Amino acid sequence: MGEQQKINEENLIDIFKALSNVTRLKIIQMLKQPDMNFPPQIHIHKKDNFPGGVCVGDIREKVGLGQSTTSQYLSLLQKSGLLETKRIGQWTYYRRNEDVIKQLESFIDKKL
């Protein structure tokens, strides 16, 4: 999902599939408060313009899964639109896509 894209029924299915796994759900929940759930992100700076981003390695360590599984989970969450990603130097960072999450909240409130 691109920036400012509106969710529709097709994306909703992808979103709910992404959230149907306890570890992926936990990742989304932990990224809500990255400063409380992860160590300081020393390789990301204000000039990088990606506040709240967390390095893949820190996410992997926190969930206790292998690199391959963690990467697959993060990719699925990103493809569903729930996460945004940015490569900074040799590190890849993920953060919640709050616009999509707000749209999901609104959809659930109004249509479910």
pLDDT of residue 112: 80
SS3 content of the chain, % helix, strand, coil (to 5): 55, 10, 30
CA end-to-end span of the chain: 22
* pTM, 2 dp: 0.90
CB within 8 Å of 64: residues ≥ 6 apart: none
In order of start, what are the domains of the chain with their CATH numbers? 9-111 (1.10.10.10)
Distance of CA 52 to CAs 34, 40, 55, 62, 94, Å? 6, 10, 10, 16, 8
**Cβ(28)–Cβ(96) under 8 Å?**
yes
pLDDT digits (tens, 9 = 90+) for 26-62: 999 999 999 999 999 988 988 999 999 999 999 999 9
8 pLDDT band (50/70/90 cuts)?
A: confident
Q: What is the pLDDT of residue 6?
A: 78
pLDDT at 80: 95
Residue % of the chain over a pLDDT of 70: 96
